[in-house]
A = this chain, B = another copy of it.
Amino acid sequence: MNKLYTDAEAALEGILFDGMTIMAGGFGLCGIPENLIAALKKSGIKDITAISNNAGVDDFGLGLLLQTRQIKKMISSYVGENKEFERQYLAKELDLEFNPQGTLAERIRAGGAGIPGFYTKTGVGTLIAEGKEHKDFNGETYIMETGLKADVSLVKAWKGDTEGNLIYRKTARNFNPMMATAGTITVAEVEEIVEPGELDADNIHTPGIFVQRLIKSHGLEKRIEQLTTRPRQEG
């Protein structure tokens, strides 16, 4: 099985449709599938339900798909860095479902793991709990959250082999591993593609079974959202 595609457009060929649900990895702009987002924009598909922790910034990340009005609904935990998002949401051009970050991460893991529902303390007594099933365990109240799946998951890895085994780097890992498990089709964008056997089998974060298609990233920008530094001590 050849999983390697020549570029992002080729890798998305035949799997996109209007109204689909797409998961996109990344935390802020860290660990986002830049090439795949660009190809998704170029595809022109509409009415996307996008599941992603954040919505990018105005001109990068998923913000690119907000500019073109391709997204109908976002399921996220924090969208504070995107002004266009704010405008579309306040104008009711965009649906929004907030999930606590840990609940979002766990719902995606559950979706990939065949778990349709689980209980959590997070959000009990808040707006998040409204309309959700409550259940007590050992005298404490929990709410039920459901698993999340996607038609297509777009993830970004650091290294990958042609079997689809992936390794992420530092905090660019974030939501990518769970999303890889929760897509009917998962497309991975990888900085460096190696031959099978070059990755240590004990260190693989996403086994190849979860990855149906992969590409090598080209021209990554890897934009830093908040460059924060300390001065070097004067010598």
Closest B residue to A113 using CB positions: B106
Contact string against B for A residues 100-125, beta-carbon threshold 8 Å, 1 for contact and 0 otherwise? 00000010001001111111110000
Say yes or no for A203: interface residue by CB 8 A criterion: yes
Count how many chain A residues have C-beta atoms less than 8 Å from C-beta atoms of the other chain: 26
Residue of B nearest to A137 (CB): B116
Q: Give min CB distance, A199 to chain B, whole Å.
A: 11
Segment among A8-16, A34-42, A55-63, A165-173 that sits at the interface with chain B? A165-173
Which of B106, B137, B168, B169 is close to A117, meaning CB atoms less than 8 Å apart?
B137
Which of chain B's residues have a CB closer than 8 A to the CB of A119? 115-118
Report whether A202 and B114 are in contact in the complex, using a CB–CB cutoff of 8 Å: no
Q: Among the interface residues A113, A116, A169, A203, which one has the most CB atoms of the partner chain B within 10 A? A: A116
Q: Is A126 an interface residue (CB 8 A)?
A: no
Separation of A202 and B188 alpha carbons in the complex (Å): 19
- Footprint of B on A, CB under 8 Å? 106, 110, 113-121, 135, 137-138, 140, 142, 146, 167-170, 173, 200-203
Query: Which 8 A-B residue pairs are closest in the complex by CB-CB distance?
Result: A116-B137, A118-B118, A203-B203, A117-B119, A115-B118, A116-B119, A116-B142, A117-B137
